Homo-oligomer: A and B are copies of this chain.
């Protein structure tokens, strides 16, 4: 694996995700690229012998080890062959024959790519880490009990071997669905049984399946929070929904501002993304009433609701609703780790079958190994234990951050009260942009995002959003003081 780590991972970087970026162009990479181009273009013809590594090193003015590494790479790519005692040769047929004029201009083909995907994916406002890291959407994976998880994985791998490895059910393994139902019944008072659960590849797939099943292109009006979680809006738009951004204030989604035509409402009531507000009890009741009166369906994204810092949690919308108009979406990206790719939907009965069919068409099912392991991890009490422990740690960070912002940044920023989750936000005065401050922070070793980066309506208010997944409690004071100094030049 080491070898290939030298090149950059060129995948699109998901918003809020750490990246695995490389360290730029090494000598090995440059030499490899040049030689490869010569072979592919046919400038070095199949069958010809490459110079010895020693010779080549002298010619190119690099160490023999670098040449060895480059030959090794070419070998692994099948571009050269090594004959014992005779040396390294360009493989016959390694050259890509020069392209004949294609019958169709690639642009003609490219024009067929559907618009949601034509411009590529979402990019992270801040991709890389920093000494003081306030990026949001990332849990503290250093504190995850990886050793315990590895034991669950090892046990699951043995079971999977016994089982053989054929496909299981598309809605998820029954024991995992039962474990998830118990977990959300207990932790979030969501009313459900195993039969209501559909296991998905994270909340992202959950949102995608819901959008695909419920959005009629160019017809369905979907309300999304603004600022809000960009991938949710993106998924709804890609399915063809007419998006309607709805304002958010210190009580969460402004229910009165919902468009009457909305039949799909995406919301983060436990902990607004990214402003951090908790949807008030009144707003909850009003939202449910709206859904019942207008026949709307609510997507309740409870991405970090387990991490309630203070007070009793409010009832989930799913719990308040009695008419099957709330679809609850949960994830294990925050309580375990994002690269696990497991989440779930608690689906109302009328929708379940269609969602399972959509899951089946999307990818049949989630990998069995993680499903079996997670069932054990929950059943054995490890999830509850880890959440309990992290709740305390995140609460400490949350409290330290709240105090520090009020003390050191209170004049410039207005904190939005928050009692839950892995981030909080503070607004700049109306008309003031937070972008300049975020840029200066970046140069001072503080990675922080603006609220506007999550807005669809870019005219709206701005602020800073502080994630607490990556920063230790005792670094918070220093970071905020440093941020405060940037305000007073």
Q: A residues within 8 Å of B by Cβ?
A: 1, 3-5, 7-14, 17-20, 40, 76-78, 96-97, 99-100, 102-104, 106-110, 112-114, 116-122, 138, 141-142, 144, 146-147, 149-150, 153-154, 157-161, 163-175, 178, 181-182, 185-186, 191, 193-195, 200-202, 204-205, 208, 212-217, 220, 231, 234-235, 238, 263, 292-293, 295, 297, 322-325, 336-342, 348-351, 353-358, 360-370, 372, 375-376, 379
User: Are B356 and A341 touching (Cβ within 8 A)?
Assistant: no
Q: List chain B residues, Cβ under 8 A from A174.
A: 4-5, 7-10, 20
Shortest Cβ distance from residue A106 to the other chain B in the assembled complex, whole angstroms? 4
Q: How far is the CA of A255 from the CA of B353 in the complex (A)?
A: 37
**Which of B106, B141, B166, B292 is A104 in contact with, Cβ under 8 Å?**
B292
List the 3 closest A-B pairs by CB distance, nearest first: A11-B169, A165-B337, A102-B323
Shortest Cβ distance from residue A294 to the other chain B in the assembled complex, whole angstroms? 8
User: Are B147 and A161 touching (Cβ within 8 A)?
Assistant: yes
User: Are A195 and B10 touching (Cβ within 8 A)?
Assistant: yes
Shortest Cβ distance from residue A150 to the other chain B in the assembled complex, whole angstroms? 5
Give how many copies assemble into the complex. 2
Q: Which of A99, A146, A231, A339 has the most CB of B within 10 A?
A: A339
Shortest Cβ distance from residue A361 to the other chain B in the assembled complex, whole angstroms? 6
Q: How far is the CA of A351 from the CA of B113 in the complex (A)?
A: 8
**Which of B147, B202, B336, B350 is A363 in contact with, Cβ under 8 Å?**
B202
CB-CB nearest in chain B for A110: B350
Shortest Cβ distance from residue A61 to the other chain B in the assembled complex, whole angstroms? 27
User: Are B212 and A117 touching (Cβ within 8 A)?
Assistant: yes
Q: How far is the CA of A50 from the CA of B102 in the complex (A)?
A: 76
Q: List chain B residues, Cβ under 8 A from A325.
A: 102, 104, 109
CB-CB nearest in chain B for A170: B11
CB-CB nearest in chain B for A207: B361
**Which of B102, B160, B358 is A339 in contact with, Cβ under 8 Å?**
B160
User: Are A20 and B361 touching (Cβ within 8 A)?
Assistant: no
User: Are A339 and B367 touching (Cβ within 8 A)?
Assistant: yes
On whether A161 and B150 interact (CB within 8 A), knowing A11-B356, A114-B212, A121-B356, the answer reads yes
User: Are B340 and A367 touching (Cβ within 8 A)?
Assistant: yes
User: Are B157 and A362 touching (Cβ within 8 A)?
Assistant: no
Q: How far is the CA of A472 from the CA of B376 in the complex (A)?
A: 34
User: Are A78 and B186 touching (Cβ within 8 A)?
Assistant: yes
Q: List chain B residues, Cβ under 8 A from A195.
A: 10
Q: List chain B residues, Cβ under 8 A from A215.
A: 114
Q: How far is the CA of A1 from the CA of B113 in the complex (A)?
A: 45
Q: List chain B residues, Cβ under 8 A from A293.
A: 103
Q: How far is the CA of A350 from the CA of B163 in the complex (A)?
A: 41
User: Are B112 and A11 touching (Cβ within 8 A)?
Assistant: no
Q: How far is the CA of A379 from the CA of B77 in the complex (A)?
A: 11
Shortest Cβ distance from residue A75 to the other chain B in the assembled complex, whole angstroms? 10
Q: How far is the CA of A364 from the CA of B195 in the complex (A)?
A: 26
Shortest Cβ distance from residue A282 to the other chain B in the assembled complex, whole angstroms? 19
Q: How far is the CA of A342 from the CA of B369 in the complex (A)?
A: 12
On whether A102 and B204 interact (CB within 8 A), knowing A11-B168, A164-B337, A338-B166, the answer reads no
Shortest Cβ distance from residue A357 to the other chain B in the assembled complex, whole angstroms? 4
